Structure 1
Amino acid sequence: MKNINWIWIIALLWFASCNKSDYKPDPVEIPELPGTSTEDLVLEVVDNDIEAFMTRYNVPGLSLAITKNGKLVYAKGYGFADREAGLKVDTGSQFRLASLSKWITSTTIMKLIQQGRLGFNDKVFGTGAVLGTTFGAAPYPGNVTQITVEQLLHHTGGGWGNSSNDPMFANSTYTQAQLLGWMINDRPLANTPGTVSDYSNAGFFILGMIIEKITGKTYQTYVTDSILKPMGIANMSFANTSLAGRKPKEVKYYGVGGTNPYGYAEGVIPRIGGAGAWLASPIDMMRFLVRVDGFNTVPDVLDANALNIMSSKTTASGNYACGFLVSSNGNWYHGGTYTGTRNWMVRTTTGYNWVILINTSASGNFNTDLDRLVWPAVNNSSTAWPDKDLF
């Protein structure tokens, strides 16, 4: 995330050849598949390419989950969660999601819009706006009071983008409120809101704070209780920054070329909130995605209108919708990166979803090759997917 910007996402666009009722069941805890199941599943059209990819880029560990028509048809861990300890990746291993968190934040915002608690075109800052004048010192400079919820979702808010010294990694001792106040008063917008696309972690950080303002709960608590638990997701949480703060099922991360995956200032990753703080297993990410994919296989948490808005692009936003990108042929996708982390999640128009989580990152053709891993299997009508639902 810090080491990746909008240029990487644009470079991947061409590789992604890539009316439901509200879903409100009682929260239910669904256990992870046992780690031993990863040894039992074999699908060579997937496994061979992944193993070759891992060898090519010296990947310590990788975990994958694939759904077809709402059913979990493949889930497998490869390599090591911790090389030094000899601990293998299994289907319950958790990874930093980085920017895949944005898909979750966007879903939560759209749910609030669907409920009438927030407006897509609501102003964010200033008198009468969602966040009012709580942060920073009024009067606000420049065009800050023109920023809308829609623009933050589409990365067209006018400033605080990753291309110009991402503010999310500055002033590490600041609280979220202090950081936002500093951004408003000391980091002027570079463009008129709504006119220029500039991928922005800060925009989704602000969306997380909007969720807190509307609901009266912390972002993590509200998303967990109101979005994730009704999907059967009980084990997601915020990642920590340090190795000492590693969670029980979390993998160990590995940098390349002298980079340190634990080199971020203490507290920076959880502080980033809605832009990239979540920790999850691939299976839990598929539990999430099958309930926001717009297919009629599993009831979605959003209605058809909300999903249509969420997956819509603007002239200014290019291929970016709200929390993910949309290719020219209608596939949805997004990546996520920290030092020592690289992720990729896809929803195809043909009913497939998948996510790949990795505990390292690399340069060269790594991203291109990562995107290509699952397409041969899903595009081959003779692929022998397991006939049981692994959910």
Structure 2
Amino acid sequence: MAADEVPKPTDAQRASMEKLARKFMGDFKVPGLSIAFAHRERPSFSTSYGFADAESREELTADHRFRIASVSKPLTSIALFQLMEDGKLALDDKVLGPQGRLGMEIPELKLTPRLRSLTVHHLLTHTGGGWGNQRNDPMFRNPKLDHAALIESTLRDDPLQHDPGEQYAYSNFGYCLLGRIIEKAAGVSYEGCVKDRLLKRCGIDGMEIAGNTRDERRPGEVVYHSRNGDRPYAMNVRRMDAHGGWIARPSELINILVRVDGGKVRADVLKQPSGERMFTASTANPRYACGWAVNQVPNRWHNGSLPGTASIAVITASGMCWAAMTNARTPGIGPALDRLMWDLARCVPDWKA
């Protein structure tokens, strides 16, 4: 194989991959699974299995789009670092109060010392001191409230349990705040900023914020299937924009991953110091950086989970990137989807995953 040739799976390797994928789908009651891989920043394989809609038997294709849930968080992080490179933000900027990035929208008298000390970096690393997703997640309460009303009610009724920076607690609400900070700094909507600054530079025009109901599905979007009492169309997904609201194809996520992986084939959308900082873990949790899970290998990734969908996006130290999405969610599917993608990648020895 020539040095610049992109390794592709052979027919036999594709058959092995499909066998693994079909078993996963059966084990976790998944109607549809879509996957994509890149090797050394070049697309190497993408395919789909099953159905976009199990009821109508509409076959799933690589062109179908999925809710990506919390894989949205890396997009938010990249956009923030792009704004920082333009001098519009800094990691240690305060979030609230007279000098805060959200300004005086929240009445000053309601701000506790903990809220006053909250920074952009705290929110990016889930070290804000509260608003975790383990129980009573603010982003899944009061679905009729808009962003401003939700933020005011949460700051008023949900005090921080710890000083910012001390402890890690995965916070969807923290990323909701980051979305509003992006809007303030960029002067446009969160979705508009990410599309203009990130997606356009990656040659992507098919990603957008999801609708809430089945009737509000975007063109080419799959149907999400209920499992174990999940209600995929009973959420305000549009309000989740910055922490879990995007829809995408796996191939589109690949186009983003290869533009932040530090490789030499595709120009990164961030300068090297910004990229390194984005992937640097906090002292409170050595396995989570700014919108990315990390380890010492180093691999970088994020998974996503919402009623009706599971997703994952990975940058490996070996030079691979991959993404996968499903249109149903059952217990244990997140770790299993991660293992599946590693197993699929290892079906192709030339990838050296």
Q: Shorter-chain TM-score: what band?
A: over 0.9
**How far, CA to CA, are the matches of 2:133 and 2:243 in structure 1?**
12
2:276 is matched with which residue: 291, 299, 308?
308
1:255 is matched with which residue: 197, 212, 226?
226
How has the CA–CA distance of structure 1 residues 169 and 137 changed in structure 2, closer, same or farther, with 3 Å as cutoff?
farther
Amino acid of the structure 1 residue aligned with 2:338: D
Answering whether residue 244 of structure 2 is matched by residue 276 of structure 1, we say yes
Q: CA deviation at 1:263?
A: 2.2
**How far, CA to CA, are the matches of 2:339 and 2:162 in structure 1?**
35
**How far, CA to CA, are the matches of 2:303 and 2:318 in structure 1?**
20
Partner of 2:158: 187
Check conservation: 1:41, 1:76, Cα contact below 8 A.
no
Answering whether residue 181 of structure 2 is matched by residue 215 of structure 1, we say no
How has the CA–CA distance of structure 1 residues 361 and 163 changed in structure 2, closer, same or farther, with 3 Å as cutoff?
same
157-166 or 132-141, which deviates more:
132-141
Check conservation: 2:286, 2:295, Cα contact below 8 A.
no
Answering whether residue 320 of structure 2 is matched by residue 349 of structure 1, we say no
How has the CA–CA distance of structure 1 residues 380 and 357 changed in structure 2, closer, same or farther, with 3 Å as cutoff?
closer
Check conservation: 1:342, 1:357, Cα contact below 8 A.
yes
Q: CA deviation at 1:330?
A: 0.8
Q: CA deviation at 1:260?
A: 2.0
Partner of 2:42: 71
1:46 is matched with which residue: 9, 12, 17?
17
CA offsets 1:107-138 (integer angstroms, 9 cap, x no match): 00011111211111111111112112213553
**Aligned positions of 1:87-126 closer than 5 A:** 87-126=58-97
**How far, CA to CA, are the matches of 1:251 and 1:331 in structure 2?**
29
CA offsets 1:337-365 (integer angstroms, 9 cap, x no match): 111111111110011000110000111x4
Partner of 1:374: 341
Check conservation: 2:310, 2:333, Cα contact below 8 A.
no
Partner of 1:146: 117
Percent of residue pairs identical:
36
* Greater relative contact order (Cα < 8 A, sep 6+): 1
How has the CA–CA distance of structure 1 residues 56 and 377 changed in structure 2, closer, same or farther, with 3 Å as cutoff?
closer
Amino acid of the structure 1 residue aligned with 2:155: I
**How far, CA to CA, are the matches of 1:378 and 1:350 in structure 2?**
11
Q: Gapped runs of 5+ residues in structure 1?
A: 1-39, 386-391
Amino acid of the structure 2 residue aligned with 1:374: M
Check conservation: 1:99, 1:336, Cα contact below 8 A.
yes
Q: CA deviation at 1:234?
A: 0.5
Q: Taking structure 2 as the reference length, what is the TM-score of the superposition?
A: 0.93
Check conservation: 1:168, 1:201, Cα contact below 8 A.
yes
CA offsets 1:134-160 (integer angstroms, 9 cap, x no match): 135534124101000111000001111
Amino acid of the structure 2 residue aligned with 1:375: W
Check conservation: 2:16, 2:347, Cα contact below 8 A.
no
Is the partner of 2:340 in helix, strand or coil?
Answer: coil
Is the partner of 1:129 in helix, strand or coil?
Answer: coil
How has the CA–CA distance of structure 1 residues 193 and 93 changed in structure 2, closer, same or farther, with 3 Å as cutoff?
same
**How far, CA to CA, are the matches of 2:146 and 2:102 in structure 1?**
16
Is the partner of 2:77 in helix, strand or coil?
Answer: helix
**How far, CA to CA, are the matches of 2:107 and 2:169 in structure 1?**
23
**Aligned positions of 1:11-22 closer than 5 A:** none
Q: CA deviation at 1:237?
A: 0.8
Q: Gapped runs of 5+ residues in structure 2?
A: 1-10
RMSD: 1.8
**How far, CA to CA, are the matches of 2:140 and 2:341 in structure 1?**
33
Check conservation: 1:319, 1:327, Cα contact below 8 A.
yes
Check conservation: 2:303, 2:334, Cα contact below 8 A.
no
**How far, CA to CA, are the matches of 1:84 and 1:136 in structure 2?**
50
Check conservation: 1:141, 1:185, Cα contact below 8 A.
no
Answering whether residue 212 of structure 2 is matched by residue 241 of structure 1, we say yes
CA offsets 1:5-49 (integer angstroms, 9 cap, x no match): xxxxxxxxxxxxxxxxxxxxxxxxxxxxxxxxxxx9972342221
